[in-house]
Amino acid sequence: MKHPELLSPVWEDYELIDCGDFEKLERFGKYITRRPEPQAIWHRTLSNEEWTKLATASFVREKSTASDERGRWHLRPTQPDQWYIRQRIGDKQIRMRLGLTSFKHVGVFPEQAENWNFIFERVQSQAKRAKRNRPKVLNMFAYTGGASLAAAAAGAEVTHVDSVKQCISWARENMEASHLEGIRWVVEDALKFARREVKRGHRYDGIILDPPAYGRGPEGEKWVLEQNIAEMLSLCAELLSDGGFLVLNLYSMGLSATLAKSAVNQLIPSPSFEQFGELLFTDRAGKSLPLGVYYRCVK
């Protein structure tokens, strides 16, 4: 029986410096951010004074809400609103623009670089076997497009689906900054799009799912992970071609990699390859911070 595997990607432009007391201190390129992290339940290693001295941008929650998702950033004079970082994937390099949003995010989930490497390698392998036809990859809940860039850099035809128009524009900037092209942009509710693709009889050589716990489509469609993920996985099993790969990420606290494996195995019972576990980073003091679970397989 397979067991969960812990994965932590290698970055030059990212580092988890410290974490604790429900916060994390991170370096993106030459800038250091301080922002909430609900899974950092232990105490920080560095003092609060050291955090304050190091951080060039600190996220402060709005007092009107108990949520850590909305607030504002306090910036040092040296901290720009936007900047770029780079990451090597296989023999390629991508560039991604970062920005400080009111929801504490900066435009990239660095732990996902492990999945980007997997996607790149699978697409390259498919492209070599296909020779003539480029592999087709579907990326849903695609955000600012790290996975889309990895697939495109490896030679895939990518369909990038997100319900937020601003995220599509952001992803397009990242594509252009990475000197890539050929990504198809779709602003739509992911579940609605998947239903329509099944009706059309379309198939993909790779599918990437990175769903939030909660979300809204462009026309107010409601997404609740626990309620909708079973249907989404069922649709993906129909859309995925034989020999195709599936990558699933889950961020919602309380959901495990074993749960993701069981949900997919009901629909793809005997994958030729599968891997599942946690994505994490370890800070300078050796504390490992889990940042989500993953499941990936080849049909």
DSSP letters of 21-49? Answer: TTEEEEEETTEEEEEE-TT--S--SS-HH
Residues 83 and 46: beta-carbon distance below 8 Å? no
Q: Tell me the C-alpha distance between 155 and 149, whole Å.
A: 10
pLDDT in tens, 168-189: 999 999 999 999 998 999 999 9
Q: Tell me the C-alpha distance between 149 and 115, whole Å.
A: 12
What the chain holds in terms of domains, given with CATH numbers, is 5-82 (2.60.40.1180), 108-298 (3.40.50.150)
Phi, psi of 78 (to 5 degrees): -85, -10
pTM of the model: 0.94
Q: Exposed, middle or buried, 204 (CB in 10 Å: 0-12/13-18/19+)?
A: buried
Residues 147 and 116: beta-carbon distance below 8 Å? yes
- pLDDT for the residue numbered 229: 93
- Specify the residue for token string 């607030």: 71
Two structure tokens written together for 131 = 């020779």
- pLDDT for the residue numbered 136: 97
Two structure tokens written together for 106 = 């900066």
Residues 231 and 191: beta-carbon distance below 8 Å? yes
- pLDDT for the residue numbered 217: 83
Residues 62 and 102: beta-carbon distance below 8 Å? no
- pLDDT for the residue numbered 251: 82
- pLDDT for the residue numbered 40: 96
Q: Which residues of the chain have pLDDT under 70?
A: 1, 64-69, 132, 252-253
- pLDDT for the residue numbered 286: 98
- pLDDT for the residue numbered 30: 96
Neighbours of 256 (CB within 10 A): 14
